Structure 1
């Protein structure tokens, strides 16, 4: 009887871990193994540039955009993330940052939600 209880507890634990793992994978898919909201925090230097199209992005911002922009779907997800929205980043302004950073191999014409990267 004691062995059966241990097996049931172990099975329950594996089930909970499996469900949690599936959630984490789903949450992180656009940015590989890193959740989108975690990647969005890396763009803290871009907040002002993401709020006002007339604000020049800082060198730190451009470096992060270039790094995250290697994966256009991740960059898009980050710019449209809840984290970005919560600090006042405007998606229509954020999608212009790669161009304002003069990133030569940016994903030009890439659809990002309702927006297109210029």
Structure 2
């Protein structure tokens, strides 16, 4: 069942990737729950702090991280939670990707981006 859910998440994410994130709200015109689908490649990295972070995941996190409030909204979204994302681990992904321009120290709910 978990594999089926992940497969559905990946299929929907591939359809959502072409959407532009601009406009009003944390992630523009795209709700954070929908923007969260872009982080499907980060599924294992957001659940296990020792899991490898894929280049695709890092690319998506870098893109969303250009707007730290969107990145936080996505990591704390209901979609991310239902996919098994652990926020305390997800917030470590920008650092694990070695993103030089990551929003270090940004308050993300009850968490702070390292």
TM-score by length of 2: 0.78
Question: RMSD in angstroms over aligned alpha carbons?
Answer: 0.8
- In 2: Cα distance, 1:59 partner to 1:109 partner: 23
- In 2: Cα distance, 1:111 partner to 1:35 partner: 20
Return the offset for 1:34. Answer: 1.1
* 1:1-118 correspondence to structure 2 within 5 Å: 29-118=25-114
Q: Secondary structure at the match of 1:48?
A: coil
- In 2: Cα distance, 1:46 partner to 1:116 partner: 19
Q: Deviations over 1:13-41 (max 9, x none)?
A: xxxxxxxxxxxxxxx61001111111100
- In 1: Cα distance, 2:33 partner to 2:76 partner: 10
- In 2: Cα distance, 1:103 partner to 1:113 partner: 21
Structure 1 runs of 4+ aligned residues shifted over 3 Å read: none
Higher helix share: 1
Alignment length (residue pairs): 91
TM-score by length of 1: 0.76
The unaligned stretches of length 5 or more in structure 2 are 1-23
The unaligned stretches of length 5 or more in structure 1 are 1-27
Computing the radius of gyration over CA atoms, which structure comes out larger, 1 or 2?
Answer: 1
